[in-house]
Amino acid sequence: MSEAAAHLVISGVSKRYGAATVLEHVDLTIRRGELVTLLGPSGCGKTTLLRAIAGLAPPDTGTIRLAGRDLTQEPPHRRNVGVVFQSYALFPHLTVAGNVAFGLKVRGTPKAEIDHAVARALSLVKLGHLGGRRISALSGGQQQRVALARAIAVEPDVLLFDEALSALDRKLREEMQVELRRLLQEVKATAIFVTHDQDEALTMSDRVAVMNKGRIEQLAEPRELYARPASLFALNFVGLSTRIAGQVVGSQDGMVDVVTPVGRLTARGAFQPGASVIVATRPEQLRLGAAEGANAASGRVRSVVFQGSRTLVDVDAGAGASLLAELSGREAEVPRVHDEVRFAWPVAETFAFAAEAAS
């Protein structure tokens, strides 16, 4: 990443509430026009980080620079950020157009310009015909669009979404994810989404920051995050996986040999012999049958779940270990419950993580 392209630079940001550390020395650099998701469970600090960027929860230490300006000491109204809240926080005493015009009015923009900008923002979110409506007369999806139009209308340097889609029902949410991404790319907005929904993160973002206990565990493109999780937490939080505990018995060239209840497995990772590790792989890497030079394990099928384009097979591999395999719809042979099966998967797609991080 070139330094010139850095648009939002967060460095060394920490925040404590009493005895609890909510953010611990967070560094994050976002390019202009980039869509980044802060993904993590509740309490991981993602919303606090968003509020720190907006100026609603100033950090205890660290700096926040946006569009070349140091914002760390600036109050929210001088930051030029746009926030879409989970509850939308639309002003109930104003009409739809009044809400969208609010940010421009308080900036003292001339009336003709305001009218033009409001019309443009409302047509972007396809609500051009509802400008005169009261907020209480709108559906949830429409309110979401008004909140977005209100934030976009002031042309902020960064748009912040705080679980902005989570109040919508699932179908509407999935539609909005795709539409919102297209719209943000169209207006070339830089945006940060806060969510605990991995599908939303993978759909909406150029890069995803997985957060845990006030830290960013991994910052990567969605594909990379899924294929090369940097920690057990990132592996668990995004996508499904097969995980088997074991002990390292040998290591060389970034690969380890691990003894597990299902046999000896080889995985990517750097550990000393004797270390307790979790060996993991993604379910779609598992193939029925054996393969030369690959990891393999066998067991009895516990359940088979048909999900349309894929079938999930859960296998009891003995000694408390289980395998989760995803077979694509094209697979000729799908095992049945109680079948004895053997699965193999590539060594290159097998990872070892320190076991103590599992807590």
Partner 1 sequence: MTEAVLSAPVRRPVPDRERLAAFGFVAPSLLIIALVFVLPLALLLGVSVLDQKGGVTAAHYIRLLGTPYYLGVIWNSLRLGLLVTTIAFLISYPAAFALARARGALRSLLLATLFLPLAASVIVKAFAWTILLRSDGLINTVLIALGIIEDPIRMIFTQTALIVGAVNIFLPFMVLPIYAVVAQLDSRYAEAAATLGASPLVVFVRVILPLTLPGIIAGVALVFSLSVSAYVVPTLLIGEKYPTLATIIAKAYLLAREPGFGAAAGVVLLAIAIIVVALSTLLSREPK
Shortest reach from residue 140's CB to partner 1, in Å: 4
Shortest reach from residue 188's CB to partner 1, in Å: 20
Which amino acid does the sequence have at 107? R
Looking at the Cβ atoms of 99 and 242, the one nearer to partner 1 is 99
Are the beta carbons of 280 and 306 closer than 8 angstroms?
Answer: no
Shortest reach from residue 347's CB to partner 1, in Å: 47
Shortest reach from residue 34's CB to partner 1, in Å: 20
Shortest reach from residue 138's CB to partner 1, in Å: 7
Using alpha carbons, select from 256, 265, 249, 279 the residue that is nearest to residue 351: 279
**CA-to-CA distance for 136 and 68, rounded, in angstroms?**
39
Looking at the Cβ atoms of 22 and 50, the one nearer to partner 1 is 50
Neighbours of 184 (CB within 10 A): 20
Looking at the Cβ atoms of 8 and 248, the one nearer to partner 1 is 8
**Cα-based distances in Å from 70 to 8, 54, 158, 192, 295:** 10, 13, 14, 18, 51
Shortest reach from residue 42's CB to partner 1, in Å: 16
Looking at the Cβ atoms of 116 and 134, the one nearer to partner 1 is 134
Rg (CA), the chain: 24
Q: Interface with partner 1 by CB under 8 A: which residues?
A: 54-56, 75-83, 85, 87-95, 102-103, 106-107, 134, 136-140, 142-143, 150-151, 154, 167-169
**CA-to-CA distance for 256 and 355, rounded, in angstroms?**
14
Looking at the Cβ atoms of 10 and 267, the one nearer to partner 1 is 10
Looking at the Cβ atoms of 80 and 198, the one nearer to partner 1 is 80
Looking at the Cβ atoms of 156 and 299, the one nearer to partner 1 is 156
Looking at the Cβ atoms of 156 and 335, the one nearer to partner 1 is 156
Shortest reach from residue 6's CB to partner 1, in Å: 22
Shortest reach from residue 144's CB to partner 1, in Å: 9
Virtual torsion, Cα 190, 195, 198, 199, nearest 10 deg: -70
Shortest reach from residue 196's CB to partner 1, in Å: 15
* 252 strand-pairing partners: 255
**SS3 for 64-131, per residue?**
EEECCEECCCCCHHHCCEEEECCCCCCCCCCEHHHHHHHHHHHCCCCHHHHHHHHHHHHHHCCCHHHC
Looking at the Cβ atoms of 159 and 202, the one nearer to partner 1 is 159
- Strands (DSSP E) found in the chain: 6-17, 20-31, 35-39, 61-66, 69-70, 81-84, 158-162, 191-195, 207-212, 215-220, 242-252, 255-260, 263-268, 276-281, 287-288, 295-306, 310-318, 321-328, 340-345, 351-354
**CA-to-CA distance for 252 and 225, rounded, in angstroms?**
25
